[in-house]
Amino acid sequence: MKKIWPFTFYFLYFAAFASALPFFVLFYQSLGFNGAQIGLLTGVPPLITLFASPTWTSFADAKQRHKFVMGLGIVISAIAIICLPFFTGFTLVFIIIILFYIFISPVASLADSATMAMLGEERAMYGRIRLGGTIGFGLFAPIAGALVEDYGLKIGFWAFSAIMLVNFFISQRLSHGSHEVSTSNSISIRVLLTNRRWINFLFLAFLGGIGGFSAASYLFPYMAEMGANESTMGWALTIATLTEIPIFFFGNRLVRKFGAYGLLTLSLAMFGIRALLFAAVSVPLLVLVVQVFGGMIFPAMWAAGVSYADENAPAGLKSSAQGLFGAASFGVGAAFSGFISGLLLESIGGRGMFLVLGIIILVGLAIAEGIRRLFPEKSDLPQAAAFPSDK
């Protein structure tokens, strides 16, 4: 029974996001915002995640208030998105989106840490629990696409809020375990942020955020350039989501085979290749074909990142470590992607945008791996927080 609550939480959480997140850029375009404004709306808010997610998760770890932080984030973010369709000016929309990101930022990280705690010795089965999110997203993506096509963008936002409010009650059934609170001044988030191995890991998470966020936010506008309707866009998400299922289900085997770090780097290489493939296609049908391949990448990257962060987190900082991973990927990485993608989409179109992003991901990965191999690091943390090998 302990597994049904996190599974249900992920199902509803990602069903909600399928109803709203892919339509944000289309909403901004419907209001007549230009490329620079859209770049700010998609680039600045994730920067909030960079600070908000570690701040909230550190507070939850220090005060043992994990359920409170999760519940507050869910309720406030739901209220913010309910209000979003009623605003048309750039400043008010920007404020609502900032508020949304401030409060939603720690929710997924806290769910991940709770899931790992509830699984106990079965932590390798995380992917099968997280599969609930894949199923929820896959089921609701075509429904949301059809509803938005018939009733407008506001119905997707209201669906998000309704689902998230239901999920509030599920979040209160999650158990975060008895966390050992670290009292040592030397074992803190600052130690992680100055450790070479963690710096490398967070840079890779940053690249993963570029790969994941660019498709999540800008695939629909690119498909709109090709003449695709909202239903076709919904099916693009469904296809990608269905192909996530085997990866999450067998995620424990993939982590054992490649190691968390190895699976992470492999996923990043595939993100870069997927972006180049998006740049190469010219009709919606071929986008759907790429989605068959592309949907396998995110679950591998996320399972690898969550596993690596959990394995390498010092005592008392499990939620904080997940918060840092989320901040680097969907904070800094998403912010960078949002800033540059909005400008690129307006100046050189969707095809050129994905070409540039694909090159950035692959070159960044090559540089990170080159530095790691040329200058192998030794753990410079106290023994209690020493990291296992990347291999």
Least confident of 131-135, 170-174, 184-188: 184-188
- For residue 2, name the pLDDT band (cuts at 50, 70, 90): low
User: In CATH, what number does 4-173+189-381 get?
Assistant: 1.20.1250.20
Q: How far apart are CA 75 and CA 35, in angstroms?
A: 31
Domain boundaries, the chain: 4-173+189-381
pLDDT at 309 over 90: no
Name the more confident of 7 and 330. Answer: 7
pLDDT digits (tens, 9 = 90+) for 3-49: 899 999 999 999 999 898 878 888 998 999 988 888 888 878 777 87
What pLDDT was estimated at residue 82? 93
pLDDT digits (tens, 9 = 90+) for 76-92: 999 999 999 999 899 99
What pLDDT was estimated at residue 387? 40
Residue 102, amino acid: I
Residue 69, amino acid: V
What pLDDT was estimated at residue 363? 96
pLDDT digits (tens, 9 = 90+) for 94-146: 999 999 999 998 998 899 888 988 887 787 788 888 889 888 887 888 888 88
